[in-house]
Structure 1
Amino acid sequence: MSGDTTTRPHAPFMAFGRAARELGMKRSEFELAVDLGRIRTVPDEGGGGRRVPRTELDRLRAAPGFPEALRRSVEAVGTAEGAAVMEVAPTRFTRLARLGLVVPVRFYLNRYRAVVWLYLAEELRQFAADEDNAPLLTGRTPQALRQQVAEGLDLRPRNWRGRRLGFLLRQADGPWQRAAAVASLLDAAHIAEIVKDPYDRSHLNRFRPGPPAHGAPGSPAARLIEKTVTADAPDEIDWLRSDLLQALDEARAHQPAPRPSPKPQPQPLPVPKPQAHGVGRFPVSPRPTADPHLTLDAHLTLDARPTSNPRSSDRHRSHRLMSGLLGRLRRRST
C-alpha cells in the first residue's frame, strides 16, 4: 500500500472553513455564530486572521442538542419567513422592523440591487412570546407609530449598524482594533476631520474592517452597500465621533502609531585649506620684470631661466639657443 499512513496529531487551531465543516454548519451560519459569540475564536499569531481552537469544537460537540441546537440559534430568516414565525402579516412585520422593534442581523443585495434584511428566528420567537408585545401583533398599530412609518422612518439600517459594531468590538484584540471598529461606520470625511495626523489615520485604516457584503468598486451595488454601512443620522454620527475620539486617546496611550525613522542629515564636504605658494604642489616663481638698462643678452638670459613648470623646458631651451646665436653674430661683426 502506498502513501503516508503516519498518524498526525490534530492541529490546535483551525481556519473558519475547516471548523465549519467539522461542526456540520454552512459557512454563513458559522460566521454568524462567531459574530454572536456562540463560537469563541482567537487571533492568529502569524497575522492570518482569526482561528478556532480545537478545544472550542470539543466544547460545542459536548453541548446538549448538538448540532441542531447550535444551528437553530443562528437561523436567519427574511421578511416572509419572519412574519410566519411571528404569525403576522408581512406588512405588519415590515412595519415593526422599520420602527426598530425587531432588529436585523444580516443583509444582502438581491438581483435587483435591493437590500434584503435577515433576522434571527430565535429573537422573533422570543418577541412573539412576550405578552407585552401582544398589542403590536394583533389589533391596530397605534396612530403615532403608523404616522412615523408613513413619514419615511426606517431604523433597520441604523439598528443593524449598532449590532454590527457590537460584533466588531467583541472580536477586537486591542485599542487600535476597537477604534477601527468605530471608524468603520463613519465616512472618510468625518475620519479625516477627527484623525488629523496622517500616521494615525494610516495605522487606523490598517485595522479597519471591510463591509460585510461586496461589490465591484464604483458600481451601484458598492455605493448602496457603502450607504447602508455608513452612519447618516446626525445624532448617530455625533456619538460615533465621540466614541472614536475616546478610542483614539486610549489607542495612542497604549501604543503610538508607527512613524518613519528620521533620515540622517548629509555631512558637508571638507573645504580644502589654501596653500602658501598658490594652487598646486610646486611653488610658482614670479617672472622678472623688464629693465631698460639691461642689454639684450641680459634680457634673453633672464627669460631663459628655468621655471618651476616642467612643461616650459622646450621654450627655455629655445631661448638659450637664440642667445648663443646672437652672441656669435655680434663677435663676428666686431
Structure 2
Amino acid sequence: MAEHGDDPHPEPQDDTQAPGEVLIVTGMSGAGRTTAANALEDLGWYVVDNLPPQMLRPLLELSSAAGSAMPKIAAVVDVRGRDLFRELPAITRALRDASQLRVLFLDASDDALVRRFEAVRRPHPLQGDGTILDGIRRERERVAIIREAADVIVDTSTLNIHQLSTRIVDVFAVDGEARHTTTVMSFGFKYGMPPDADLVADMRFLPNPFWVPELRAHTGEAPEVRDYVLAQNGATEFIDAYAAALRPVLLGYQSENKRHSVIAVGCTGGKHRSVVTALELATRLREVPGVAVNVKHRDLGRE
C-alpha cells in the first residue's frame, strides 16, 4: 500500500535528454560548404557531410540519446542528395519545433561560382549536358525556398577560405570560447628542435642551473630552480617582452583562422631554463583574449 502522499501510479521516468543544437549547412554548390563544415568541426561540432534530409530525424534521436557526448551537430545537406534534397524544406519545418535547429545558407554570385568551378575543373552537380551556369541556375531554383527560411545567410562571393572560416567562427563560436589554442613547449636543443614548432625561443643566453650542484637534480618545475633562473639578468625582461610580442601574433592567428600553434622554448637539455620560461610564458599568454594555452615539456624526463 502506498503511504500518504505517494503516487500509487507514478509516471514512468523518461531518461531521454533533449537533443542538443543542430545546424543544417546548405546552400549553393561552390559557395564554401566544406570550408564552413571544417570551421564548425574545429569549434567542436559533430559534422555529418552529404546527409540525406530523411536522416535528419534519426540524427536528432541519436543526439538525444547521446546527451552531452554529442551536444552540437552540423549536417551538410545539398543537391548531391538529388531528388531526396527536394524534401529538405518540409523536413526542416517539421523538425524546428522539436529541436534547437538552425539553417546556415551559403551563397555566392553566379560569376564567383563559375570561377570556382572552372578553377577546380569540375562540373556543377546539376550541369548535365549544359554549361556550369545552367547548373547554377537550376540549383538556385531548387534552393530558393530554403534560402528564404534560413536563419543565417553568408555571401561568400568576395571571401577567401580563411575569411569564410573566420566568419563562421564569429557567428557560431560561444562567447568566451577559445578561438586559438597554443602549446608552449619546452625542449632541449641537444635532442633536436620540435618539427612542428611555429616559433622558437632560445634560452641558452642564461646561466645553466645544471652547473649548480644543488640544482642539477631538480627541474624547472621546482621553486628553487625557478627562482634561480628568474633572478638572472635579462630573464624576466625577455619573458615579458616576448609575451608582449606574441600577443599581436596570437590575435592575428585568430583573424586568419589559424586554430593551433606551437611556441617552442629551448635550452641545452630541456630540463631547467626552458621549463621555467615555458611556464612563465604560458601564464602571461593566458591573458590574451580568445587563446587557450597548454604547456608541454618534451624532454623533461630524459637523462
Rg larger in 1 or in 2?
A: 1
Q: Which has the higher helix share?
A: 1
TM-score (norm 2): 0.24
Which protein has greater RCO, CA pairs closer than 8 Å, 6+ apart?
A: 2
TM-score, normalised to structure 1, is 0.22
